[in-house]
């Protein structure tokens, strides 16, 4: 398989980001703090505005988008959020390339560490993040949209 290429989308890529987000929610509805119906109802301008914040990354194999992840600042912390790779591209290296790209974004922001949350017992995600140097912080919390599910926080020291 061709190696994944990662790009930082612009406002003009809003429809690609939307399509990936909807595919992610259809494939893994319990892994995100949103719903397919909620994201389907967002207007074009909302998608464009979200891309102005930066931090979003897309993975491509050949000419097609296969995954996404986003770096986001929340209060004084930097987070990797919205990570997803299409089932057909899993195992291709796209997930690792996305994580590395968001780590690069966090370093550009001079973040001392990068946080993320893993829902439930997602062993594939846990292996990916641990393999990239992330370690559990010991913090757990219920998933806000599905409080019966628990998510665990991981962090990567960047400084």
Domain 5-157 sits in CATH at: 3.40.630.30
Q: Quote the tokens at residue 84.
A: 């997803």
pLDDT at residue 154 is higher than 70: yes
Instruction: Give the Cα separation of 141 and 115 in Å (integer).
Output: 14
Tens digits of per-residue pLDDT, 56-111?
Answer: 999 999 999 999 999 999 889 999 999 999 999 999 999 999 999 999 999 999 99
* Listed residue (116, 96, 91, 93) closest to 106, CA to CA: 116
Q: What pLDDT is attached to residue 101? A: 97
Domain locations along the chain: 5-157
| 8 A C-beta contact, residue 115 and residue 138 | no
For the residues of 58-121, what is the DSSP string, one character each?
EEEETTEEEEEEEEEEETTEEEEEEEEE-GGGTTTTHHHHHHHHHHHHHHHTT-SEEEEEEETT
């Amino acid at each position: 398989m061709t190696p994944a290429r990662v790009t930082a989308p612009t406002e003009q890529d809003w429809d690609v980001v939307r399509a990936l987000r909807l595919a992610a929610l259809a494939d893994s509805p319990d892994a995100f703090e949103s719903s397919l119906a909620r994201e389907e109802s967002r207007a074009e301008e909302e998608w464009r505005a979200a891309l102005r914040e930066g931090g979003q990354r897309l993975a491509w194999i050949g000419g097609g988008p296969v995954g996404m992840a986003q770096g986001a600042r929340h209060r004084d912390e930097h987070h990797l959020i919205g990570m997803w790779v299409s089932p057909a591209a899993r195992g291709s290296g796209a997930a690792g390339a996305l994580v590395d790209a968001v780590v690069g974004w966090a370093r550009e922001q001079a973040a001392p560490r990068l946080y993320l949350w893993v829902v439930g017992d997602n062993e594939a995600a846990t292996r990916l993040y641990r393999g990239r140097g992330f370690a559990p912080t010991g913090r757990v919390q219920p998933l806000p949209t599905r409080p019966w599910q628990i998510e665990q926080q991981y962090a990567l020291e960047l400084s």
